[in-house]
Structure formats: structure tokens, C-alpha cells
Amino acid sequence: MAGKMSVDEQLALIKVNLQEVLNQEIIEEALKKGEPLKIYWGTATTGRPHCGYFVPILKLAQFLQAGCHVTILLADVHGFLDNLKAPIELVKFRAEYYRLVITALLKAVRVPIDKLHFVLGSSYQLTPEYTMDLFRLSTVVTEHDAKKAGAEVVKQVENATLSGLIYPLMQALDEEYLKVDAQFGGVDQRKIFALAKEVLPRLGMKERAHLMNPMVPGLQGGKMSASDPDSKIDLLDTADAVRKKLKKAVASPLQVEGNGVLSFVEYVLLPASSLKYGTQKFVIERRDAEPLEYTNIEDMQNDYKADKLTPQMLKPAVTEALISLLEPIQAEFQASQEWKDVETKAYPPPPAPPKKEKKKKDKGSFYPKKVTAQPDGHVEGADKDKVDVGEESGAAAVEKLGLEDNA
């Protein structure tokens, strides 16, 4: 499809549904040369991916449709640095789980993935060259600027560790090592993008363009979060679970702003219909009248504000459309023993309640660690530090991060 597009058409498809673009001239220059625009999107492999991931994935699908080369960075080291959201013992399994999920998401909307490439962060971020450049970068970035850059991305805690300051520096440096023209991410990453734009040239590295999609509200309003079960729908949730969660979703009558259900139609269901069927369309069945059919979000929002489209009509339609979108992903999961095995290793279920039995004096070195898995994938318990950071040497930690690039 991209071969038949003009530069203006490619640019329009690249920019659709974005909130902001920095250094657009870099994108235009690459397109005018007739070269594929090289874009990367990074995701820290922490909590289980939920339906909110459809938002960036469908944007990546549009990049691919416009002829771009897309690199997905499975940021395993970043997940470890972000307040230990990904314990060292689970990082490599979570990275593989993310690769399987993202591939299934793109296949679900029938996107060719021949120009898609997965890269594991630890495959190059542990090299001497990268480490030296990270040291160089640390000499031109202040503690204040590093903290400010990561404020909306890295989990903020009192008396934060240095790892949260390293996180944004690495994300900036990744642009150079992945050899891309542009980085894509949510508008919450804008401060990291601004940091990269400012400091990379000071190390003799070129500026990149930055593409930002808006932050889509969760089902309860606010940001969709893996740590809030009511704000998100897991990609493997059953149809009944999807119906239950969407029934509880916040969709105030006449209100468009902050309406997570309407936003899901705008950024997921409408673009998905275009990719799957070649035309953008969302249909809402009505019991005693003709169906409402929408080809753009503006008409839908106007009808919602006029009360022609009500929450009672909207939520069931979104529910069934989402269930239909999830069906091929869940079918692939059920058919893949590899994916099931990886899921169990990446997100081990909480241990069964201990049985009351006589306490033994010597439990031995192999006694199970006392931790409990939380909804967002991190662990809590008496042995939390042993699981998060690992008890072995740095070399052993590197081995735990290792995962062959299967792309």
C-alpha cells in the first residue's frame, strides 16, 4: 500500500491520531528521499499487557501501512530499573511474553509484519560501548534534569534510587543505538524526548523526530493502569469478564471529555476496522430503530453530546466489538503451549495458602522464597529483595536478562 502513496499521504497516515510531533522536518526529509522512515517504540516488560496496548500497537500498524520500518524495543533492563517492577528472576520470561502478545495483536488486525523487528534491550545495553556512552551522557545531564525527564514515566517514590535517573538517559541513548529516524511513545514521555533532543547532539549524535499519541483514559477515567484491575481489561480476559468490566466502566451521559469508552472507539475500534476490513466503520445496533453507523469519531461524539447515542447503547456495542477483536488473540494463546508456558514463568500465580503444620527447624537453602505476586506483576513479601535484585553475582544477573532475539 505504501508504494502507491504520495509523500503527503504517507505523512498524513503517520500523523493521524497523534497529539504532537517534534522535528517533523526529519520525517519529511526521509520520506522525500524515498527511504522507509525508521521508527522505534519501546515498552518496559513489566506488568501484563492489557487492552490499552491496542492504542500504540494500532499506531504502529499505521506506521507499517505507511511503509515505515518499525523496531519494537523490549526494554527488559528498563523494567528492572523502574523501581524493580520486573524482578530479575522474571525479566527474560516477561520479554518473551510481550513479544508473543504484540505479534498476536498485530496479526489480529491483519497487519503485515515483514518490516517489523523486535530488539531486546539487554542485547546491546550491556555492551562496553553502550556503557561508555551512558557514562558520557551522565556527564552532561544533571540530577535535576534526569529526575524531571522521568517524572511521568518512572514510578515516583520517596528517597528514590539512582536507577530511576538512569532510565531516561538510556531511553534517549537507545535512539542512537537503534539507528532510527524517530521515536514513538505516549505524550507522557515528552520530557524524555525533550531530553534526548537536547543532549544527544552534545555527544556528537544526531537529533531524532518524536511522535506522541495522547494518553487514553481507562475504563474508570484517568490513566489505564495494569495495577488497577478495574481500569483495564486483560488481553486474555474471558468474554464474561469483558462484559462485567465494561458494564462497570464510567461513561457519563453527554460527556465526551475523559470518556474512556468513547476514547477506546476512537483510538482502537475505528482504526482496527479500517485495518481489518479496509474501511473505517463502527456500528451500534438499536432494538427499535435502524442501527447507528459511524465512519468518524466526530459524528459519534456529536451524537453522544446530543444524547442521540447513550451509554446504554454505547457500552454493549463496544463490549461485543472488543470481544470480537480479542478472539483471534485468545485462540492463538490457547493453541500455543509455548505461550502458555511462558505466561506461567513470567507471571507465576500466587502461592497457595500455607497449610498448618509443625514447623521444621532446618528448612534448607532451597526453601521457597516468601513472596506474593501482585496484580501489576511485581512481588511483595519478606524475600522481595532477593527476588527483585537477585542473590547472585552481576554475571549471573546478565544471564537472567539474556534472551535470544526470535524476530
What is d(CA 291, CA 248) in angstroms, rounded to the nearest whole number?
Answer: 24
Class of residue 288 by CB neighbours under 10 A (exposed 0-12, middle 13-18, buried 19+):
exposed
Residues 6+ apart with CB under 8 A from 92: 76, 400, 401, 402, 403
Residues 284, 191 within the same domain: no
- In this structure, the answer to whether residues 145 and 235 fall within a common structural domain is no
* Residues of the domain holding 240: 229-336
Query: Of 213, 238, 255, which residue is a domain's last?
Result: 213
Same domain, 93 and 204: yes
Q: Residue 263 has which C-alpha cell?
A: 476514547
Q: Are residues 70 and 173 in the same domain?
A: yes
pLDDT tens across 55-68, in order?
999 999 999 989 99
Give the residues across from 75 on adjacent strands.
Answer: 44
Domain match, 145 and 233 both: no
Kindly state whether residues 150 and 251 are assigned to the same domain.
no
Residues 109 and 135 in one domain: yes
CA distance 73 to 171: 10
Query: Is 255 a member of any domain?
Result: yes
- Asked, for residue 302, whether it belongs to a domain, the answer is yes
Q: 96: domain CATH number?
A: 3.40.50.620
Residues 208 and 237 in one domain: no
What is the rounded distance in angstroms from the CA atom of residue 119 to the CA atom of residue 403?
10
**Res. 407: pLDDT tops 60:** no
Q: How many domains does the chain have?
A: 2
Model pTM score = 0.82
Identify the pLDDT of residue 242: 94
Give the Cα separation of 136 and 261 in Å (integer): 45
User: Tens of pLDDT along 346-385?
Assistant: 999 877 777 776 666 555 544 456 666 665 566 677 766 6
Contact 314, 251 (CB under 8 A): yes
Mark whether 29 and 155 lie in a shared domain. Answer: yes
DSSP 219: T
Is residue 375 included in any domain, yes or no? no
CATH code: domain of residue 314? 1.10.240.10
Say if 28 falls within a structural domain.
yes
Distance CA 407, CA 405 (A): 6
Q: Are residues 252 and 169 in the same domain?
A: no
| CA gap 346, 94 in Å, rounded | 5
Instruction: Note the pLDDT of residue 216.
Output: 85
Assess whether 330 and 193 both reside in one domain. Answer: no
Q: Max CA-CA distance within the chain?
A: 75
